[in-house]
Amino acid sequence: MELLRKWLGHPEDIYHLLRFKMGGYRAVMPRMDPDSLGRGLRTCYRYLNQTSRSFAAVIQALDGELRHAVCIFYLVLRALDTIEDDMTISLDVKVPMLHEFHSYLYQPEWKYMESKEKDRQVLEDFPTISMEFRNLSKVYQDVISDICRKMGVGMAEFLEKKVDSQHEWDRYCHYVAGLVGIGLSRLFSASDLEDPIVGQDTELANSMGLFLQKTNIIRDYLEDQQDGREFWPKEVWSRYAKKLSDLTKPENIDLAVQCLNELVTNALHHVPDVLKYLSRLKNQSVFNFCAIPQVMAIATLAACYNNKQVFRGVVKIRKGQAVTLMMDATNIQAVKSIMYQYVEEIYQKIPSTDPSSNKTQQVIASIRTMSFPGGPMVSRHHYSPIYLSCAMLLAALSWQYLSTISKATEEYVQAGEN
């Protein structure tokens, strides 16, 4: 019944969940025919579904040969990331592997059988992945190999190095996410589905990745602490606590929230670049692929801002809210409206005593101007009393059905991309 109470408070979620479940998801994630693929590609898409159903859904919605290039790109980087994450691999073995990993793409027999990580199948059957990589057009191979090389170098750099300054935070996020944005953008342009400028403007592509990665780092503070990982920049948190772990202490909660708000403000500075990047996209499948994670991120930041729960448990957006974002974020004006809505939500929560309040207000003002230079934007949704009554009745009748939404949909809308 807790689920029912949540939906009664957000009746629009019911409409969008039903709309999504009854076929609306095909507009943003059309089905791919696996029978049209060769054996190697079918295996690669199976690994894609096993390692990330959420990414699998949006990747398989891409048009033409770009779909296969992005699938292989994802699996190659997943294999690289699996090596980085595997704490059973000693540094004297791991560092050379990270530096040389891009060369394994051209070694048909290379594989690694010693990993204990959950996604180790991408290492154990790397010959299948590397074979499909070599089957790609050379223009795609060059992009994937180059990004893999640069990412391996960056991962090795931060293996024994903590993130101290905000510059290093940006550098770390560049290696693990910005390079992904740059690589994807180059693939988009190489496919001719997007103009050359999309792949050439690495600053905007980098910002796309940084915005997502910073959002994940902010949201995942407690989980990372519990796993012994630290990604918040010391330059920021040291102004609020002696140790990063001290932010979880009840007596430090006010300072912890101020630290959180400063980092959210930092992440918001990427939103103008995100909007400029998305405004250049022409292909619908590419736009959906890029826009959906970005609107999930702004909604997540709005949920995290000034929220003590970040230091106590899990903060995530509602499933119905996420489905609404997926269904709505199909054009640049809709995305601008969504961004506007959530920065306004943040603006309304800015404490007058917060040390970062002026900076937060300034960056929100710039996002407002870029989103709607002609003036404020009204809410995207208006529901009449009759609609609300019907929605509540529908909730009472269908809450059990909605609670059984498929695993693939649930994993995607949680928007917690690794």
Q: What confidence tens digit (pLDDT) does each residue in 167-187 have?
A: 999 999 999 999 999 999 999
What whole-number distance in Å separates Cα of residue 132 and Cα of residue 136?
A: 7
pLDDT in tens, 233-269: 999 999 999 999 999 999 999 999 999 999 999 999 9
On the CB side of 152, CA atoms within 13 Å amount to: 22
pTM over 0.75: yes
Q: What percentage of the chain has pLDDT greater than the value 70?
A: 80
Alpha-carbon torsion, ordered 83, 86, 88, 89, to 10 deg: 20
Span of 19-28, 53-62, 198-207 with lowest mean pLDDT: 19-28
Count of Cβ atoms closer than 10 Å to residue 374 Cβ: 6
pLDDT higher than threshold 50 for residue 404: no
The residue among 166 and 2 whose pLDDT is bigger is: 166
Rounded Cα distance, 407 and 397, in Å: 22
Average pLDDT in the 219-228 region? 94
* Per-residue H/E/C for 329-355: CCCHHHHHHHHHHHHHHHHHHCCCCCC
Please determine, for residue 371, whether its predicted confidence score (pLDDT) is greater than 70: yes
Residue 16 has a pLDDT of 52
Please check the confidence at residue 219 and state whether its pLDDT lies above 70. yes
The secondary structure of 370-390 as a DSSP string is: HH-TTSPPPPS----HHHHHH
Share of the chain above pLDDT 90, in %: 72
- Evaluate if residue 22 carries a pLDDT over 60: no
Report the alpha-carbon distance of residue 99 to residue 154 in Å, rounded: 9
Mean pLDDT of 206-227: 96
The residues annotated with a catalytic role in the active site are 172, 219, 229, 289
Residue identified by tokens 């070599």 is 134
Q: What digits encode the pLDDT tens for the residues 294-307?
A: 999 999 999 999 99
* Dist CA 388 CA 323 (whole Å): 19
Q: What is the Cα–Cα distance from 126 to 23, expressed in whole angstroms?
A: 35
Whole-angstrom Cα distance, residue 367 to residue 414? 25
Spatial separation of the C-alpha atoms in residues 289 and 199, rounded to whole Å = 15
User: Is 306 within 8 Å of 220 (Cβ atoms)?
Assistant: no
- What is the pLDDT, as a whole number, of residue 387? 40
List pLDDT tens digits, range 98-123. Answer: 999 999 999 999 999 999 999 999 99
Q: Is-contact 40 352, C-beta < 8 A?
A: no
Instruction: Tell me the CB-side half-sphere exposure of residue 262, using CA atoms within 13 A.
Output: 20
pLDDT of res. 29: 54
- pLDDT at residue 402 above 70? no
Q: Are 145 and 116 in contact (CB under 8 A)?
A: no
Which is more confident, 407 or 371? 371
Give dist(CA 130, CA 125) in Å, integer.
Answer: 9
Measured CA to CA in angstroms, residue 299 lies from 94, 178, 323, 324, 401 at distances of: 36, 20, 12, 11, 26
- Averaged pLDDT, 122-141: 98
Number of H helices, E strands in the chain: 23, 0
Question: Using CA atoms in the order 332, 338, 341, 347, what is the torsion angle rounded to 10 degrees?
Answer: -90
pLDDT in tens, 259-272: 999 999 999 999 99
Of the candidates 69, 58, 177, the residue with the CA atom closest to the CA atom of residue 129: 69
Per-residue pLDDT of 311-353, as tens digits, reads 999 998 988 898 999 999 999 999 999 999 999 999 999 999 9
Is pLDDT at 13 greater than 80 in this prediction?
no
DSSP designation for 89: S
Domain ranges in the chain are: 39-159
Say if residues 91 and 159 touch (Cβ distance below 8 Å).
yes
Measured CA to CA, the distance from residue 155 to residue 68 in angstroms comes to: 25
CB-CB contact of 192 with 137 (8 Å): no
Structure-block tokens of residue 383? 């529901």
Taking CB atoms within 8 Å and a gap of at least 24, the contacts of 159-163 are 159/84, 159/91, 159/94, 159/95, 159/98, 160/91, 162/230, 162/234, 163/230, 163/231, 163/232, 163/233, 163/234
Would you state the pLDDT for residue 4? 44
Q: Are 244 and 232 in contact (CB under 8 A)?
A: yes
Give the whole-angstrom CA distance, residue 312 versus residue 340: 28
Contact 311, 245 (CB under 8 A): no
